[in-house]
Structure 1
Amino acid sequence: MSVARHLLAASLLTLATPAVAADIDILAAPEIAIPVAETGLYLRADATYGFDTTFGGTQSLVGTGGTATNRMGDWRLDDGFGVGGGIGYKASDWLRFDATVDSWKQDVSGGNGAGWFCGFDRSCASREGGSIRALEVMGNAYVDLGTVAGFTPYVGAGLGAVHVDYGDVAGTVICTGAAACSVAGSSAAYDGDASWRFAYAVSAGVSYDVTDNLSIDTGYRYLNVQDGDAYRFDAASGARLVAEDDGFDRHTIRAGLRFKLW
């Protein structure tokens, strides 16, 4: 009986082994694929709209008797459109970098309650007007704040330089008050100055993924442009007028496309 029992137990163990092995195969943990962050180069193209803004400056009249300086009244930089483009790199799901170039041209106008024609005497005032053509070259960094239903809000900051070109500026003299004024209606064309200026920017916006490679990007950007030369004029008397602005701010709405290269 003992031998028969051992043989029966061995047979049952042999029959059970495949079933246990099958159970082990079924219960084996599946492999987990870890998602890889999307990175790569992208191109961007933008249309911009800059709101009007005001800024100040200084006029200096240099002559044989020395130099006289006077603060300019508020100048107005009109609103207007511009275009831009750039190339960028998405370093991770939350960090991007790009280099951008933007171009715009806007009218500028202002005046001085004490005109330089009168040696900054308040018997006359001056009115000036022209345009500013600018080329913005900026390096930017952005933090993407997560994507929900294809929408990705972001914040950013940038540093760079802006080439500010005043072109030609026209000036006109207006008599004021009861004081004698012999230069009423006099006008002159000033030579506009052009220079590169340091600039910084902060921005915020949201992008929407149209496809895996194409996104719509809309946002707001604040740009601060540092002070610089504005215009100058050499009078027949030998005196020279030199004007400098205090720099200006630009508040801009941007809308464009980002196209992923790889």
Structure 2
Amino acid sequence: MMMRHVTGAVSIAAMCLVAPQAFGSDVLQTIDYGPTMMAPTMYASVFAGFTAPTTISGQYFGSSTIELDAGWGFAGGVAVGTNITSNLRGEFELSFTHRNIDDEDFIPQWECAPGDCTATGSLSTIYMLGNVWWDLDMGGGFSPYVGGGVGAAWVMPSVTIYDDPDYMWDVAGLAPAAQLGLGVRYDFSDNMKVDLGYRAKAVLGANFSDSTDPCGYPGGSGACAADDIMYVEHVLQAGLTFEF
């Protein structure tokens, strides 16, 4: 009787040792631990391009609409960002544009005589934007993208009106800004991409004023302020992105 009990106990112990080996691997193979988490990829970009002609609009004397014709210009900048997901990027951009202004009649509704309502000079803008871009991997190293951003612009006019140096908009100021963009990136190497893109950069609600003798102040006889200045800059650019 004692031998029978001992033999039974040994059999049970053997089953306990063999069962995990026989079934354990199958059980573990069915466990799904989810996608593997990867460290985010940081990157830095540098880019340059040119800006197409555009119109700068605003209010003069509080009721008259100005329309400044701005010509071709150039653009450049840098950006630093990271991949949020496999196809979504977030970045901070610091960029600038510069263009000339040469308008024979910046207040069309006044019906000025030829040469009486001229505006000449230049306009520079520094953009500080937070952007989000969505990438689409097409294979072969090509990735089209689309996105945009919001932030602020430091607007720096240097515009003489009425062909008179005593009438000049030259006070820099901060204004809200936004942009939309699209483009395509190509994997030039493992950690470098070539980027060709288009950007529509908008400045919303800037102000132009005279720093030396603005009208409206006691004794002031210079240029009056132009308010609610808005313009959209159309930029074609090329750049390089370095991942690290």
- TM surpasses 0.5: yes
The residue number in structure 2 matching 1:198 is 176
TM-score by length of 1: 0.69
* Amino acid in the other structure paired with 2:242: F
* Amino acid in the other structure paired with 2:52: F
Aligned residues: 204
Match of 1:71 among 62, 65, 73: 65
How far the C-alpha of 1:231 sits from its partner, in A, is 2.7
The residue number in structure 1 matching 2:162 is 172
Q: 1:109 to 1:146 in 2, by over 3 A?
A: same
**Identity fraction in percent:** 24
How far the C-alpha of 1:143 sits from its partner, in A, is 0.8
Report if the CA contact (8 A) 1:38-1:92 is conserved. Answer: no
* Amino acid in the other structure paired with 1:94: N
* Amino acid in the other structure paired with 1:78: G
The residue number in structure 1 matching 2:83 is 90
How far the C-alpha of 1:123 sits from its partner, in A, is 6.7
The residue number in structure 1 matching 2:203 is 225
Larger mean Cα displacement after TM superposition, 145-154 or 231-240: 231-240
How far the C-alpha of 1:224 sits from its partner, in A, is 1.4
Aligned CA-pair RMSD:
2.8
Q: Deviations over 1:218-252 (max 9, x none)?
A: 11111111022113354696445222353001111
- Structure number with greater Rg is 1
Aligned 1:1-262 pairs, distance under 5 A: 39-60=40-61, 69-72=63-66, 74-110=67-103, 111-112=105-106, 125-167=116-158, 169-172=159-162, 188-232=166-210, 233-234=213-214, 238-239=220-221, 241-261=224-244
The residue number in structure 2 matching 1:7 is none
* Amino acid in the other structure paired with 2:132: A
TM-score by length of 2: 0.73
CA–CA separation in structure 1 for the residues paired with 2:196 and 2:39: 21
* Amino acid in the other structure paired with 2:64: N
CA–CA separation in structure 1 for the residues paired with 2:220 and 2:79: 47
Q: Any stretches of 5+ residues in structure 1 without a counterpart?
A: 1-28, 61-67, 174-185
Q: Deviations over 1:13-49 (max 9, x none)?
A: xxxxxxxxxxxxxxxx9xxxx7876731011000121
Report if the CA contact (8 A) 1:48-1:84 is conserved. Answer: no
CA–CA separation in structure 2 for the residues paired with 1:234 and 1:154: 46
Q: Any stretches of 5+ residues in structure 2 without a counterpart?
A: 1-28, 30-34
